[in-house]
Structure 1
């Protein structure tokens, strides 16, 4: 949908000016898709940051913690090590980071 929203006149003007396909992509396509890309990056970051269930069910953190994320670490600290204070710290940290990314998302949506 984002690519279809770019006016064909912009590509035509770039071709008339002698822009190659790569230059059209860099100077026409990317600037036009910037708002969409920013929103997608923020939403994917929020989703990935809070992903726990998929990682836990597939790898349980992986060999040597290779696939461990902060949500999985919070679970391990709280329920496996029974360190409720550390688990709470991880949970508050996750909340604060999610809040920051959500604020960025709302700022980007507000510009549209």
Structure 2
């Protein structure tokens, strides 16, 4: 396995702790920029922003029929992302992962 992947794995996995994990991972990756960690930081930040955005919109409805699919969607994205980080893979999360890489390109 590539040495840079091993070096960035801890930051990559940390980035998937919704909310605070992204900022911890960003500080871990601030000095020696690791491309693997940066990729997963963008994915983790994208999932967090998606979670917050959907949560703000869906919270207005107060319905389990509306909020349950959002939770399932976020759980699928999160589990896909953290699993690929643990395996040392650079695979974007389904549906939104490539957009996260484009929109958050300045985050490294």
The two structures have a TM-score, normalised by structure 2, of 0.43
- Using CA pairs below 8 Å that are at least 6 residues apart, which structure has the higher relative contact order? 2
Question: Which has more radius of gyration?
Answer: 1
The two structures have a TM-score, normalised by structure 1, of 0.42
